Amino acid sequence: MSDYLNELKPPHRILMGAGPSSVHPRVLQAMTAPILGHLDPDFARIMDDVMVMLRIVFKTSNSLTLPLSATGSAGMEAAFCNVVEPGDTVVIAANDYFGDRMVDIASRCGAEVHTVDVPWGKPVGPDLAALEREMQRHRKVKALGVVHGATSTGVLNPMPEIADLAHRYDALLIADVVTSLGGEEVDIDLWGVDISYSATQKCLGAPPGLSPITLGPRAVEVLNKRKTKVQSFYFNLANLETYWSENQNRVYHHTAPISMIYALREALRMVMEEGLEERIGRHARNAAALRAGLEAMGLEMFADPGYRLNPLTTVRVPGGVNDAEVRRQLREVYNIEIGGGLGEVAGLIWRIGLMGDSSSESNVLAFLSALERVLLDEGYEVARGGGVAAAQRSLVG
């Protein structure tokens, strides 16, 4: 019998998966503020605040910087559908599940898509020879797409080098920073990224529901000179910009998710208070402690050394250990959620997120302690207390 008439009481989890991450009470409290109309001048000032702070986080002066009223996958779709037209040539450097999704979305826009496949767990670069050969094969590449922080593999791709390559062939660079924005160095203007998008539920520390996106001058020029209509009404950035215009003459496009905008504003305020570089440093310290603890327990990292994403650590599931059972016990006994593998690494790796408010020393230590007990129950021998001790040494050092 359904209990849909009962009061909503979801369990309180420590969210350490690939997203969403835990949300600070201040951000949740912001969502309880009174609802305003989406064309109310007071709400317009809140929208302006959000755009200003998003530019700071993206490190860009792009005027077309706004949050889409949808999750991160919408950012990916909007990035491609606004600049790619039928018959355009697009190259995707794919080394994870979401690189493959880029291929799917670009093809739905009518592009001729060419993929440079990189083994999962390996970075796109620093040797870009295969990618450059693919760029050379085509008379004109409209766009090059790449995921900066690979959510499914824990790899951080070298974006400045990839951006240089895209520019040499006069291609737009489309960069997915869903998992890296707010937790890794992201510098849209310095790197020369033409289009970039993210999501609110990871390092930015807000609930899922919005996808920040930014377009540089080259991308805006391509958008304005399209020969065909953008295939999506909802994600047409030329129209959306008229709603998010900072000149106060906003034109209705859709009803914005008011409470989610409140939440994003408060989450961004918390980023400003902490300091962007300090926040990136916190993610790095906690990730280093987590990796030290996992390695002390005899576990093997999945992503290549030197290219590991700090907000999301991937570790191989030890032989003889039941992936799903470990995650079930962590969730049901210790109230800790971690992620399993996607695609070709399903059942082979765990994805452990330390993003936004979830990136804390206490979460690192609680997780390592819980994982040790669960692995011992599964018959996997670990030195008792070794993981926590190694993490503590890393944090102190």
The verdict on residue 2 lying in a domain is no
- Where does the pLDDT of residue 5 fall: very low under 50, low under 70, confident under 90, or very high at 90 and above? confident
Report pLDDT digits (tens) over 308-329. Answer: 999 999 999 999 999 999 999 9
Token pair recorded at residue 340 = 């399993």
Let me know the angle formed at the C-alpha of 220 by 214 and 223, rounded to the nearest 5 degrees: 115
Contacts of 218 (CB under 8 A, 6+ apart): 172, 194
Residue 3: the pLDDT is 80
Q: Give dist(CA 35, CA 43) in Å, integer.
A: 9
The verdict on residue 356 lying in a domain is yes
- 286 and 302 in one domain? yes
Residue 250: the pLDDT is 86
The verdict on residue 79 lying in a domain is yes
- In the chain, the amino acid numbered 262 is Y
The verdict on residue 18 lying in a domain is no
- The string of DSSP letters for 29-90 reads HHTTSPP--TT-HHHHHHHHHHHHHHHHHHT---SEEEEESS-HHHHHHHHHHHH--TT-EE
CATH number of the domain encompassing residue 87: 3.40.640.10
**C-alpha torsion angle, residues 4, 8, 268, 42 (rounded to 10):** 80
Which domain covers residue 180, as residue numbers?
25-271
Query: Does residue 201 carry a pLDDT above 60?
Result: yes
**Percent residues over pLDDT 90 in the chain:** 94
- pTM here is 0.96
How many folded domains does the chain comprise? 2
Report pLDDT digits (tens) over 144-177. Answer: 999 999 999 999 999 999 999 999 999 999 999 9
Token pair recorded at residue 99 = 């690189």
